[in-house]
Amino acid sequence: MRECTFNVLTPGRLYDITVTTITQNIHSSATLKGRTLPLKVNHLKLSNMGKTDSLNASWEKPLGDLDFYYLMLLRGEQTVHNISVPANTTSTLLPFLRPGALHKLMVTTVSRSQTSKLAMAECRTDVKTVPIHTNP
């Protein structure tokens, strides 16, 4: 056998794999480590909640092991926020944004050096309105 596939593993988990060969009662072993990829976040949502200068991001934690979330918020091609959020967090406020601007949020989960596939959401901050005064 030259290849072996392991099933039903936990995403983002480090595993020790030991391979042992036996030839004429002689045992030889080698151990290596391998980490499964973490899963991406579920149900990523980005909403302005009526705010002109901030967005709220929320998501569901995926199954498996992860160390933190990596969030990047873009306005066009410009990076506005580039932050890491602890693994026990499932929402965050993204402040100091331009009114009426379209933003794209990209989120990955991180387990040591392994990163998940991207989850993406878009939302526009609310438009700043100016009250109109009329003369009587």
Residues of the chain where predicted confidence (pLDDT) is lower than 70: 1, 129-136
Instruction: Provide CB contacts within 8 A for 67, sequence distance 6+.
Output: 87, 110, 111, 112
Looking at the structure of the chain, the number of domains it has is 1
Task: Give me the pLDDT at residue 39, please.
Answer: 97
Q: Quick check: is 33 in a domain?
A: no
pLDDT number for residue 101: 95
Q: Residue 112: which domain range?
A: 42-124
Tokens representing 22 are 């036996």
Task: Return the CATH number at 95.
Answer: 2.60.40.10
pLDDT digits (tens, 9 = 90+) for 50-70: 999 999 999 999 999 999 999
pLDDT at 2: 78
Residue 136 domain-assigned? no
9 located within any domain: no
- Quote the pLDDT of residue 135: 66
CA distance 64 to 41: 11
pLDDT recorded at residue 132: 66
Q: How far is the C-alpha of 44 from the C-alpha of 32, rounded, in Å?
A: 35
Quick check: 126 and 99 in contact, CB under 8 A? yes
